[in-house]
Amino acid sequence: MEKSLGYLGILATPKQSNPPFSREAFYRFLSKEGMKTGLPVYVFLPEGVDIQKKTVTGYRYLPQQGSWELKKFPLPSIVYDCLWGRRKYRTQLKWLKAQANVTFLNHFLRNKITTYKSLVQDEVLASFLPPTKQVTSMNVIKEMLQVHGEVVIKPIQSTSGKGVMKITSNQTTHQAEGRDLKNNIFRKRFENKEALLKWIGNLPRVKRLVQPYLDLSSPEGSPFDIRVLVQKDSKGEWVETGRALRSGTTSGLTSNLCGGGRATTVAPFLESMFNEEQRMEIERQISAIGEKLPSYIESKHGRMVELGLDIGVDRKGKVWIIEVNSRPGRNSFKRIENGTKYKTALSSPIKYAHYLLEKKQKADGQVP
Ligand SMILES: Nc1ncnc2c1ncn2[C@@H]1O[C@H](COP(=O)(O)OP(=O)(O)O)[C@@H](O)[C@H]1O
Ligand SMILES: [Mg+2]
């Protein structure tokens, strides 16, 4: 077994492949980045945690061979938690989190409702939030429809745009449109409000929230949002890595890349919609959110290493916080600014892990 000098353990999601985990290329990159900077990086799966022996069986990347070697390691000093489908592994997770010598680099936001409830307590952040309610009964939707005429319902779990629907009910129109849970675009019209509500009531049982529909589209009718990636740097401070504009298809409601959206730079897009003064104000407000929100959310939900903020801008130029992702994708940054932001986006977790490890060693008295 390796002698423990401290290492970063990536808790990965199991996958039926070789090696048996998802995001292999990303973890390979992190392993190489770790090697360059003197921080060993190993990948492990929840099944690899041995509670009795206090060890983990994991994978070490061998650059010469270009392959992963299965090995037994002591417990990681730092864990980068990238595990999806956590319910099955509650025992291992709880145990690992309870180990005094294991530090988690990041925690997860449970769902959109718990995040909303935290954010809305802060006066400044609350001013950017659309009123949001969990759909505990059809009455919640009815009431929202009465006030706003058009609402959006969406699953409280992050879904890359799946199941996000706009519901309209007024004198002349009763309809639902958006994406179903399989990501197909649909539009359905109904005779009256009752038929519409009945249809909603029969949707697959997932927990949903409802909020007013915001016109977050360009004059051409493409929905768009701004993805802001904020990450911890090597001093443990939050910095904005970059922002990218994502725009969806004109026939759709969502701007997620998985739904066929495209990523471009922000300024030219906003310039085509707003005058210079408005654009500067929008960008300034987005910066303010990026500076305030991360440490605030950490104070409520535990340490984080990166957050993806989905920011909407309506036709009047009002800025909205649409979603906070604690496991953000990085693909929006691949093609913009020659991919320079993408490299920073990928390597950030290693930098913050270094910082945490040094802090830990100082606290343990290993370093004078
Ligand atoms: N209230 C809303 N009004 C208009 N469009 C919305 C609203 N909420 C979400 N959207 C659109 O749907 C997309 C996905 O919603 P989001 O809350 O980010 O959920 P997820 O990405 O987890 O599916 C957003 O990026 C935005 O384009
Ligand atoms: Mg989103």
Summarize pLDDT for 20-30 with one digit per residue, the tens.
999 999 999 99
Question: Same domain, yes or no, for 60 and 121?
Answer: no
285 CA distance to ligand 1 middle (Å) = 19
Residue-wise pLDDT for 70-85, tens only, equals 999 999 999 999 999 8
**Residue 300 binned pLDDT confidence (cut-offs 50, 70, 90):** very high
Which of 1-5, 82-86, 247-251, 349-353 has the weakest average pLDDT? 1-5
Last residue of a domain, one of 212, 242, 276: 212
Question: Same domain, yes or no, for 122 and 84?
Answer: no
**Residue 1 binned pLDDT confidence (cut-offs 50, 70, 90):** very low
Ligand 1 pocket residue status of 210, Cβ below 6 Å: no
Tokens standing for residue 201: 């009531």
% of the chain residues with pLDDT over 90: 86
Q: What is the DSSP letter of 65?
A: T
322 CA distance to ligand 2 middle (Å) = 7
Assigned domain for 161 exists: yes
Which residue range is the domain that position 232 belongs to?
A: 112-129+217-354
Ligand number, closest to the Cα atom of 164: 1
Last residue of a domain, one of 88, 104, 120: 104
247 CA distance to ligand 2 middle (Å) = 12
What average pLDDT is seen over the chain? 94
**Residue 3 binned pLDDT confidence (cut-offs 50, 70, 90):** very low
Assigned domain for 188 exists: yes
What is the structure's pLDDT at 32? Answer: 97
Residue-wise pLDDT for 151-206, tens only, equals 999 999 988 999 999 999 999 999 999 999 999 999 999 999 999 999 999 999 99
Question: Same domain, yes or no, for 224 and 325?
Answer: yes
What is the structure's pLDDT at 350? Answer: 96
**Residue 5 binned pLDDT confidence (cut-offs 50, 70, 90):** low
Question: Same domain, yes or no, for 63 and 166?
Answer: no
271 CA distance to ligand 2 middle (Å) = 23
Ligand 1 pocket residue status of 217, Cβ below 6 Å: no
What is the structure's pLDDT at 366? Answer: 64
* Secondary structure of residue 305 in the 3-state scheme: coil
Ligand 1 pocket residue status of 152, Cβ below 6 Å: yes
148 CA distance to ligand 1 middle (Å) = 17
- The candidate with the shortest Cα–Cα distance to 82, out of 40, 46, 41, is 46
Question: Same domain, yes or no, for 191 and 270?
Answer: no
Assigned domain for 342 exists: yes
Assigned domain for 53 exists: yes
Q: Which atom of ligand 1 is least distant from the CA of 162?
A: 23
What is the structure's pLDDT at 4? Answer: 46
Q: How many domains does the chain have?
A: 3
Assigned domain for 296 exists: yes
Ligand 1 pocket residue status of 109, Cβ below 6 Å: no
68 CA distance to ligand 2 middle (Å) = 33
Helical segments of the chain, H only: 24-37, 90-98, 112-119, 123-126, 138-148, 193-201, 266-271, 276-301, 340-363
Question: Same domain, yes or no, for 299 and 245?
Answer: yes
Ligand 1 pocket residue status of 153, Cβ below 6 Å: no
Q: Which residue's CA is the closest to the ligand 1 atom numbered 26? A: 254
Question: Same domain, yes or no, for 121 and 153?
Answer: no
Question: Same domain, yes or no, for 184 and 75?
Answer: no
Question: Same domain, yes or no, for 21 and 93?
Answer: yes
Ligand number, closest to the Cα atom of 255: 1
Q: Which atom of ligand 1 is least distant from the CA of 215?
A: 4
Ligand 1 pocket residue status of 156, Cβ below 6 Å: no
What is the structure's pLDDT at 2? Answer: 43
% of the chain residues with pLDDT over 70: 98
Assigned domain for 166 exists: yes
* Secondary structure of residue 17 in the 3-state scheme: coil
Residue-wise pLDDT for 317-346, tens only, equals 999 999 999 999 998 888 888 888 999 999
3-state helix/strand/coil string of 153-190: EEECCCCCCCCCEEEEECCCCEEEEEECCCCCEEEEEC
What is the structure's pLDDT at 368? Answer: 47
Q: What is the mean pLDDT of residues 110-134?
A: 98
> Is residue 106 over pLDDT 90?
yes
Question: Same domain, yes or no, for 93 and 150?
Answer: no
CATH number of the domain to which 283 belongs: 3.30.470.20
Question: Same domain, yes or no, for 201 and 343?
Answer: no
CA distance 181 to 199: 15
Q: Which atom of ligand 1 is least distant from the CA of 322?
A: 17
171 CA distance to ligand 2 middle (Å) = 31
Question: Same domain, yes or no, for 347 and 223?
Answer: yes
Q: Which residue's CA is the closest to the ligand 1 atom numbered 19? A: 161
Q: Which atom of ligand 1 is least distant from the CA of 224?
A: 27
